[in-house]
Amino acid sequence: MSGGVDSSVTAMILKGEGHRPLGVTLLMSPSSSECSRSVQLARRTAEILGIRHTVLDLRDLFRRHVMDKFRTEYMAGRTPNPCSDCNRNVKLGGLAERLDRMGLDGIPMATGHYARILKDPAGAHLAMGLDHRRDQSYFLAEVPKGIIRRLMFPLGGMTKEQVRLLAEEARLPARREADSMDSCFVEDGDYREVIGPVIDSQGPIVDLRGNVLGIHQGFHRFTVGQRKGLGVSSTEALYVKRIDPPTVVVAPRDRLMERHVTASGGNWLEEGDLRCGAQLLGKTRSQGRPSPCTVEEVEGDRIRVLFHGEGVFAPCPGQRLVLYRPDGVVVGCATMD
């Protein structure tokens, strides 16, 4: 229970279905504490619902698996995905390990994510939420299969508007809380503060021919696909195509479209669907609908896919390639090169 409207309604739905939920609020970001507003909201909600509530401190785990990796990836010219890292290692993976050590081995875990768990004789399968505008399966695709079996997503078949209405009708404390859109540890949306000062970080901004268009104050301030804030003038719109520290390479939008995408370090939830020639759907960014693609190569935990048509815009090293079956079930994910 983060204290927000989604987890609050999730707890209410579970209680209404006859479960006996234990509300768990995680301390993760450095600034979080038991006095935080989110903790107080979660506590008040638990009291109203008549359920137990506890707080678990996972700040050290969050620092090691999310914040430290966040800094390392940016300084390598890559773009991290802290939400995926957090779900795998902290919010779900880390919590599962902590609960097991508390003697709650294998206990189901429910969250307010907009995704679905489909169950059949073959097991549990992660799938897209029915509201594609809110679908969060992209950020859950890296969670190990053993944990997927323990998950419940009561909001997976709902829209945000429906969730807000339920919260309003029940007069839950978080019913009018704003949605959190930024990384939970990034104050005011400025991730550069998390990275900290970078010494001797100046470098050139060049076009595809190597012509110097300007000088930047730190390559860690850029990400592949970025258009705004480049600090160079041009007769056509330019985007960051790649980052070769300390050089930032920019190009017109059409030069950022890619059909071939490679990724490694795969977490495959549906291995039977992962084979050369398989016709799947893929996402290289959390936003938007998955696009048709063909699996061209599978070697160990490395994969190469071919996107149909004009391809996908600016696949970003460090971000996830998430593959889906046509029915919305997540096949798995890997980190793009």
Cα-to-chain-centroid distance, residue 49? 29
Given the residues 35, 83, 86, 316, select the one marked as catalytic: 86
Spatial distance between the Cα atoms of 283 and 290, rounded to a whole number of angstroms: 5
Spatial distance between the Cα atoms of 204 and 215, rounded to a whole number of angstroms: 5
Given the residues 35, 83, 184, 293, select the one marked as catalytic: 184
Q: Is 333 a catalytic residue?
A: no
Spatial distance between the Cα atoms of 129 and 325, rounded to a whole number of angstroms: 14
Q: Is 86 a catalytic residue?
A: yes
Question: Both tokens of residue 5?
Answer: 């409207």
CB contact set of 200 (below 8 Å; sequence gap of 6+): none
DSSP 252-267: -GGGGEESEEEEEEEE
Strands 312-313 and 320-324: what pairing?
Answer: unpaired
Counting beta carbons within 10 angstroms of the beta carbon of residue 142, is it exposed (0 to 12), middle (13 to 18) or buried (19 or more)? buried
Enumerate the active-site residues. 86, 184
